[in-house]
Chain A
Amino acid sequence: RKEVEQDPGPFNVPEGATVAFNCTYSNSASQSFFWYRQDCRKEPKLLMSVYSSGNEDGRFTAQLNRASQYISLLIRDSKLSDSATYLCVVRTGGFKTIFGAGTRLFVKA
């Protein structure tokens, strides 16, 4: 079993749609959680950190459920520019960082 597993995708949605990505992690000692975005042939960039209380940044909402070892990302009112790969990231032991395989999102006009 992979340490971080994500929905395989790809997700194909129309502009304006709401889309949700899920991620599970296996190490209960994991301490920090993130969503990164990676555009085609580019480096990953931090989208947002994920907190137990849930957090929101504009159209993006992230949730963490430590009991279920589950992380989610919700994108509302999808834009064409949201088309990318979304990587779920888990940090354990203070520095070891594990990336999921990513979920590809295509937003079409």
Chain B
Amino acid sequence: DTGVSQDPRHKITKRGQNVTFRCDPISEHNRLYWYRQTLGQGPEFLTYFQNEAQLEKSRLLSDRFSAERPKGSFSTLEIQRTEQGDSAMYLCASIRDGAFEQYFGPGTRLTVT
């Protein structure tokens, strides 16, 4: 257990539905990342927060994806109108200022049917 938690751990949804995932980082970590990982691939960068500010979004993050980090604490990732191609593991990681190591949560596995 790295201290980063994610909820839910698994989500099965039907195509076209909206889903929201939550990440609770390690409390003193002000930087937070979201990644998406599919089978046989490494984690793909989606977005990055420093405190409550979203500083970078990947081109992978279409208009259907939105992420927030109110008050610089927990973060949510919402996917609207899910598609089968959204099926993946969604990983959250946090890191404190000046550190090298990102601490990953266990991930949320999304299956879109």
Contact = CB atoms under 8 A, between A and B. Distances in A.
Nearest to B101: A46
Given A44-B104, A46-B101, A95 B31 contact: yes
- Interface size for chain A: under 10, 10 to 19, 20 to 34, or 35 or more residues? 10 to 19
B107 interface: yes
Grouping DSSP codes into helix (H, G, I), strand (E, B) and loop, the A interface class, with mixed when no group exceeds half, is: strand
Given A96-B56, A97-B45, A43 B107 contact: yes
A99 B44 contact: yes
Interface of B: 2, 31, 33, 35, 40-45, 48, 50, 55-56, 91, 100-102, 104-107
Contacts of B42: 4, 87, 99-102
A21 B91 CA distance: 25
B41 A101 contact: yes
Given A43-B2, A43-B91, A99 B43 contact: yes
Interface string A97-109: 1111110000000
B11 to A, nearest CB: 16
A92 to B, nearest CB: 10
Between B33, B44, B45, the greatest number of chain A beta carbons within 10 A of the residue's beta carbon is seen for: B45
A95 B55 contact: yes
Interface of A: 4, 32, 34, 42-46, 49, 87, 95-102
20 contacts: A4-B42, A32-B100, A34-B100, A42-B106, A43-B91, A44-B91, A45-B104, A49-B100, A87-B42, A95-B31, A95-B48, A96-B56, A97-B45, A98-B45, A99-B42, A99-B43, A100-B42, A101-B40, A101-B41, A102-B40
